[in-house]
Amino acid sequence: MIAQQYKERQEFFAEHAAELHQRYNLISYVRLGYFLGAALLVIWLVSSAMPSWVWWFMLPLIVVFIILAKWHQRIEKQRDYFRNLALINEREFKLVAEHIFSDFANGQEFVDYEHPYTSNLDIFGERSVFQYLNRTITLGGAKKLADWLKAPAPKAEILERQAAVTELKNHITWRHDFQAKGMDIKENKKDVEALLQWVDAPFTLINSRFIKILTYLLPALMGLAIIAVYIGWLSVLVPFSLWLLNSIFIKFTHRETTHIVNEVARKAPLLQIYHDLIQHIENEPFKSPRIQQLQARLTQGEQTAATAIQQLSSLGANLNVRSNLAAYLILNTLFLWELIFCLKLEFWKKNSQVKLKDWLSVLEEVEALNSLGTLNENNRDWILPTINDQYFSLNAKQTGHLLLNPKHRVSNNLHIKKSKKVILITGSNMAGKSTFARTIGVNIVLALAGSAVCAHEFSTSVVTIYTSMRNKDSLQENESSFYAELKGLKRVIEVVEAGEIPVFFLLDEILKGTNSQDRHQGSVALIKQLLRHNGVGLITTHDLALCEMAAQFPDAIENWCFEVAIEGDNMVFDYKIKQGACQSLNATKLMQQMGIEVGDSITN
């Protein structure tokens, strides 16, 4: 089972992380002891008045200390990597075994109550579809996945994504390595925007021949002057004069260099993670056409995207000298360190300006595909749907809602023939009408995003879903829930009447905010209006009289229902959809159970 596989992997990686942590602590003590020993040696040399040439023996000690520091950093990175892998498998185990997925980002930033369906179908927010399947790493990756869930893709693109998802679901090691490499990312929207703005901004240094010449000439002269002073050929006033000239030049270019330092240098750790992720994509020999196309965009040209971004990260890291005052004074004021690397960054931008956005776009799409691949792997009994050419047809067999725990999930069938336009669903309270409508809607959304769906068999046309299900009042806009519902219905009518895009509507308990007579008359009028314009969709209702419309429009309307069985004082729900109009009601029984005196229980 996949749950057992996740459990074993989690234990394996946690054990390796613990071993590396012990090694990390051991090296910490070694470094401390080495430092104290070196310090005592220096004190002894100073107190013993040793000849100056003895100090040259300190160089190997410094080199060894640097090697120890690098080794320590490498062990720390390996330890954190295995910790990430353990955490990834722990989270996947909780999802598969216990249906707990609160650890994943929920996409709250994408909630839009004006969207045709995302709010009503719980696509974003706490315990949402997005949270269940989201395994993206970057902000751009999350937005890409959200965009896929907010609008249907063309059929050709859906099929390409399906092929990529099929390949990725079998690459658990690659997928988890990909996520682990990016889990420590510290990315915010402002940083990404600033980096991309710098890429698009005009050049400020390389267009000036004067700046380019002085940037390389002055450090060369300073180096020669220092050597000449050491030999005794020049007075110390010469390098001092060059230092003053450097300071003036630094002041002259301060605004330009500060802008580059702020926009690029501080993004070096972020760029390093971009490099690691993109390199991971480049190095895997994928076979699905879509991922191969994405890889080609990373590897075309004289250098790969990973190599170019590694250069950008390294150049940015070399600019981070302002945090070290001593290094800044020596490297920058004597040798124009910042100006040299700012020029190199502009030359980098000149060569890769257009490509960076495309490279990040590739990364974002692979993140979205990785999320869908993980979803398919975690639910091995799900299938990739068939996408129909004609409008409209839907065939859903053993279809369930992914947000319901599989242990309690009830699956249902629905087949909408091309001639049928409106499926009327009646049923008792809590019998499952609204959940079923959302089940169909969510699986259509997944299917048209290129994902597997929670079904044993599923086919659908490419459609845009429009809903009117949850309608909230608004005190700020002085708007009642009934008026909000009317606005939603108006939007559905307008898009169906326009006929510009294929639409599938989901209407739940329409016109519930008015009296029975107005609700019935309005519902009849609405359904007839939708039929006149070839509208297709599901309508749930308590108004059993609407079922009579199936006799009036036998080729266009079909009745389905959810029933409830009364066994003594208990109501038994099977949550299975059945053909025909509902024959059982339970509102009175529910009110009685809540202590409301109804019918025979009322006394004087």
| DSSP-derived pairing of the beta strands 557-567 and 464-468 | unpaired
Q: How confident is the model at residue 44 (pLDDT cuts 50, 70, 90)?
A: confident
Distance CA 398, CA 454 (A): 8
Q: How far are the Cα atoms of 370, 398, 578 from residue 413, in angstroms, in the given order?
A: 29, 5, 9
Distance CA 425, CA 411 (A): 16
* Cβ atoms 404, 420 nearer than 8 A: no
Distance CA 421, CA 315 (A): 61
Burial class (CB in 10 A: 0-12, 13-18, 19+), 407: exposed
* Cβ atoms 146, 130 nearer than 8 A: yes
Q: Which comes out higher in pLDDT, residue 339 or 47?
A: 339
The structure tokens listed for 562 are 């959810």
**What per-residue confidence (pLDDT) applies to 357?**
92
Whether 183 shows a pLDDT value over 60: the answer reads yes
CA nearest neighbour of 465 among 421, 508, 505, 436: 505
Q: Which comes out higher in pLDDT, residue 307 or 420?
A: 307
**What per-residue confidence (pLDDT) applies to 436?**
96
Q: How confident is the model at residue 391 (pLDDT cuts 50, 70, 90)?
A: confident
Whether 602 shows a pLDDT value over 50: the answer reads no
pLDDT tens, position by position, 255-294: 888 888 888 888 899 999 999 999 999 999 999 999 999 9
Whether 490 shows a pLDDT value over 80: the answer reads yes
Distance CA 479, CA 486 (A): 11
Q: What is the CA radius of gyration of the chain?
A: 33
pLDDT tens, position by position, 324-382: 777 777 888 889 999 999 999 999 998 887 799 999 999 999 999 999 999 999 999 99
**What per-residue confidence (pLDDT) applies to 439?**
97
How many other C-beta atoms are found inside a 10 Å radius of the C-beta of residue 254?
A: 11
**What per-residue confidence (pLDDT) applies to 392?**
87
Q: How confident is the model at residue 478 (pLDDT cuts 50, 70, 90)?
A: very low
- Please give the angle made by the CA atoms of 325, 329 and 332, to the nearest 5 degrees: 120
Whether 65 shows a pLDDT value over 90: the answer reads no
**What per-residue confidence (pLDDT) applies to 486?**
79
Least confidently predicted of 78-87, 128-137, 142-151, 564-573: 564-573
DSSP E strand stretches across 439-583 = 457-461, 464-468, 503-508, 537-541, 557-567, 570-579
**What per-residue confidence (pLDDT) applies to 487?**
81
Q: How confident is the model at residue 481 (pLDDT cuts 50, 70, 90)?
A: confident
Looking up tokens 């996408």 gives 387
- Mean pLDDT of the region 410-429: 87
Distance CA 538, CA 460 (A): 14
**What per-residue confidence (pLDDT) applies to 604?**
39
* Cβ atoms 562, 582 nearer than 8 A: yes
- The crossing angle, in degrees rounded to 10, of helices 254-263 and 337-378 is 20
Span between the terminal Cα atoms of the chain, in Å: 62
Coil, helix or strand at residue 108: helix
CATH superfamily of 386-598: P-loop containing nucleotide triphosphate hydrolases (3.40.50.300)
Q: What is the SS3 assignment for 203-271? A: CCCCCCHHHHHHHHHHHHHHHHHHHHHHHCCCCCHHHHHHHHHHHHHHHHCHHHHHHHHHHCHHHHHHH
The structure tokens listed for 308 are 């170019």
**What per-residue confidence (pLDDT) applies to 417?**
77
**What per-residue confidence (pLDDT) applies to 591?**
47
Looking up tokens 């959809």 gives 577
Write down the domain spans for the chain. Answer: 1-98, 189-367, 386-598
Angular region, 288: left φ>0, alpha ψ -120 to 50, beta rest:
beta
Q: Which comes out higher in pLDDT, residue 131 or 531?
A: 131
pLDDT tens, position by position, 527-574: 999 999 888 999 999 888 899 999 999 989 999 999 887 766 677 788
**What per-residue confidence (pLDDT) applies to 567?**
67
Mean pLDDT of the chain, nearest integer = 89
**What per-residue confidence (pLDDT) applies to 569?**
66
| DSSP-derived pairing of the beta strands 557-567 and 570-579 | antiparallel
Q: Which comes out higher in pLDDT, residue 142 or 477?
A: 142
Q: How confident is the model at residue 504 (pLDDT cuts 50, 70, 90)?
A: very high
Distance CA 427, CA 575 (A): 10
Cross-strand partners of 516? none
Q: How confident is the model at residue 142 (pLDDT cuts 50, 70, 90)?
A: very high
The dihedral built from the CA positions of residue 91, 96, 99 and 105, taken in this order, carries a sign that is positive
**What per-residue confidence (pLDDT) applies to 52?**
65
Whether 306 shows a pLDDT value over 80: the answer reads yes
DSSP 453: B
**What per-residue confidence (pLDDT) applies to 427?**
86
**What per-residue confidence (pLDDT) applies to 475?**
43
Q: How far are the Cα atoms of 503, 510, 557, 558 from residue 534, in angstroms, in the given order?
A: 10, 19, 12, 15
Distance CA 229, CA 69 (A): 35
Distance CA 536, CA 519 (A): 21
**What per-residue confidence (pLDDT) applies to 513?**
67
DSSP 474: B
Percentage above 70 pLDDT, the chain = 92
Whether 601 shows a pLDDT value over 50: the answer reads no
Q: Which comes out higher in pLDDT, residue 400 or 34?
A: 400
- Mean pLDDT of the region 39-59: 73
**What per-residue confidence (pLDDT) applies to 476?**
46
Phi, psi angles (nearest 5°) of residue 585: -125, 155
Q: Which comes out higher in pLDDT, residue 191 or 48?
A: 191
